[in-house]
Structure 1
């Protein structure tokens, strides 16, 4: 799955923070790396779920755990070699495969105890991935505890268990990811009203994390899922094609496998490439504001129907930022440990290269992406400009963003109800 770009190919086949930056240890307090390359392939530790969220529950009673040698139910890469009809923990019956990646597989199961469908994320059995799973479980337990009435749009963990050495995490079953819905809808962008409703829920969810000293670190359209992705099909006379219109815009944030508490060690590399903040690329250190940058990129993708930074290369990524947002402030370039990106206090960018030609031809200043100069679109682009601010000390916080005029209609609506 992935969008094709004439120059960059499938831009989604790029690095992911799980590749090296966000593996956690079993103590839940520090991290250990599963690999060591800076820009390794996107292995989607939470998976790019094309058709549902993660999830499942279970008991440990009837689970055999094998830590020594390869399980008879395991393939060469350490994935569980399951089959439709497999029952885990004498409770969860596998009925469908939802997604697969190098980190884990996600299956839809029937919970025989409750007679309801759930999603179960089955981690690879290697010790490294077991530790990642334990860390994610710790974060999800904390979220469940802090949000016991399910007020904020974070996915609910229902249970977890060990099956043949594979940690399995049970989640509520959700719908398509926002990326997958875009893909199935021919990458037709969401309208401003849809973006407003989704963004308000997402911002509240991530602000809830920030308020509780937690940074998600991997916000992207694949990790924002619709609670229900049922839709109506309507013919658009202008585009002369059928368009899918969602019946509900309720969404939830998923994938807490790389979430980091403020007191924990912060790895230098986080976030999937296209949503990675400049301070991460420049190795300046990062905090919760990197989530704000990522969400700015996500909202632009909702608005355009495609990523705003289609690149695989860090220097080109910075050049794209400059084309859209203006020059990177000299004080940031002066502080970076990546001095090979800098020449004479400016980005060291070859303007004679083919990459420069691509950037020049295909990208433009942020405000010029506005489709119509309606008040609501002016407000949206203003909000995005505040989120896509180079300097973390000037970047808007999510608490401030929720009070931006763009969300005034929703606040007024809430006061009336």
Structure 2
């Protein structure tokens, strides 16, 4: 179903009557397993030489009690239902991150027992030979993967404005809930927003003379809480995937919940246009793109930064160099990306601009964003009640945390930066300046 830095997600069948959910083995061991014992339940055509795991269905009971360590989470899936199993690499730092994610997921489940706030639900977890495995309900494609799968038909035109509004509204709803619980996601991106179902219809576009894929339901869920950080936890210097990274993170000025709001602004832009706002892999170039799109970074921020990117308060960047020409040709002021001057589109760009304020203190909070005119036209059947009332202190010590981090370190490490400039980002399309 997916693959990332920490591991991969596979589709499995939950038998619930076996001693454990699934047997996970290394692919190279497959040739040594008697065919009478196991039968692959995945299409081997989708396995590559780099695939680390294959999921097998047991033909007769096999028990490894010494190696199976299951959680006390009550599975919500029914026997025979398919589930998504997130398999973590047997590497200490990834195991530690997985245990932190389990802690956050358990916390969110206790805060949201009725599943009102659209964060993915942890069904179960277990440890198999050092591989932490997390079980979730099966969801559809990510909003990014759906866009990529539609490239041939849709040519990176983005989602219809109604879908942009609904997806963005749900994202703000979920992240607002996290913020009210003193949590910052820190890795918001289209890959971490999944459709509940990604069934689609093909609609003929007479103007473009093509068929566009339109998802039937734009209901989404937020996933991947492995980098989520409590307000009182250690905050690593670098967080967020490159294209969605807030300026205060790049400038090493410290960060908090507004860095999520910046990421949401970048995501809304991408949902609308079909491409990333800041397509870069370099800090200085990233800042130059920001200034080209949003204007100069305030002096009150540049003078505090010790990164060496500025000279007398101005970005040390040659706009007439080869790199400078690339920025000039691929970036333009934000409003010039507006494809039409409808009220919907103007409201959307107004919201994006409020989310992309340089100073996190000036950035619109999500409670205010939810009442922005862009969201006031959400249909009644898509509106979400917000009943949660944040308290000044949350007690998370009482949670039944499955296991402490392996090395006893506090907070997040900088592992979220390890995938910040790679992976799926190479597939992203740069904007074309007309």
TM-score band w.r.t. shorter chain: 0.7 to 0.9
Specify which of 82, 87, 107 is matched with residue 142 of structure 1: 107
Quote the residue 2:204 is aligned against.
Answer: 235
Equivalent residue number for residue 405 of structure 1: 373
Q: Structure 2 unaligned runs (5+)? A: 59-74, 386-434
In the TM superposition, what whole-angstrom CA distance separates every residue of 1:238-262 from its partner, at most 9, and x where no partner exists? 2222211111000011000111011
Q: For residue 351 of structure 1, report the CA deviation from its aligned partner.
A: 2.0
Equivalent residue runs for 1:328-343 within 5 Å: 328-338=297-307, 340-343=308-311
In structure 1, what is the Cα distance between the partners aligned to 2:372 and 2:215?
A: 26
Tell me the number of residue pairs that the alignment of Structure 1 and Structure 2 aligns. Answer: 358
In 2, Cα distance between equivalents of 1:106 and 1:53: 10
User: Is residue 242 of structure 2 the alignment partner of residue 273 of structure 1?
Assistant: yes
Structure 1 residues 268-307: aligned runs within 5 Å: 268-307=237-276
Residue 229 of structure 2 corresponds to residue 260 of structure 1: yes
User: 2: distance between equivalents of 1:54 and 1:289?
Assistant: 37
Residues 160-209 of structure 1: CA deviation (Å, up to 9, x unaligned): 01112211000110000100100111123112111111111111001010
* Greater mean alpha carbon deviation, residues 109-118 or residues 119-128: 109-118
Question: Structure 1: how far apart are the matches of 2:57 and 2:262?
Answer: 35
* 1:199-238 matched pairs, under 5 angstroms: 199-238=168-207
C-alpha separation in 1, matches of 2:378 and 2:95: 42
Q: Secondary structure at the match of 1:190?
A: coil
**Structure 1 residue ranges, 4+ long, deviating more than 4 angstroms after superposition:** 52-65, 80-83, 96-100, 102-113, 411-417
Give the counterpart of 2:42 among 92, 95, 111: 95
Whether the 8 Å CA contact 1:325–1:366 is kept in 2: the answer is: yes
Asked if structure 2 preserves the Cα contact closer than 8 Å seen for 1:55 and 1:106, the reply is no
Change (3 A) 1:232 1:352: same
Q: Aligned partners of 2:54, 2:358: CA distance in 1, in Å?
A: 36
RMSD over aligned Cα atoms: 3.7
Q: Residues 6 and 94 of structure 2 are in contact (CA less than 8 Å); yes or no, is this contact kept in structure 1?
A: no
Q: 2:15, 2:210 → 1: CA distance?
A: 41
Give unmatched runs, 5+ long, in structure 1.
Answer: 1-41, 66-70
**TM-score of the pair, normalised by structure 2:** 0.74
1:317 aligns with 2:286: yes
Name the structure 1 match of 2:159: 190
Equivalent of 1:154 in 96, 100, 119: 119
1:166 to 126, 131, 134: 131
**Is 2:7–2:88's contact at 8 Å kept on the other side of the alignment?**
no
CA offset at residue 44 of structure 1?
A: 3.6
For residues 309-366 of structure 1, give each alpha carbon's deviation from its aligned partner in whole angstroms, at most 9, with x where no partner exists: 110100000000000000000110100120x201111011012211110111221111
Contact preservation (8 Å) 1:56, 1:171: no
SS of residue in 2 equivalent to 1:410: coil
TM-score (norm 1): 0.77
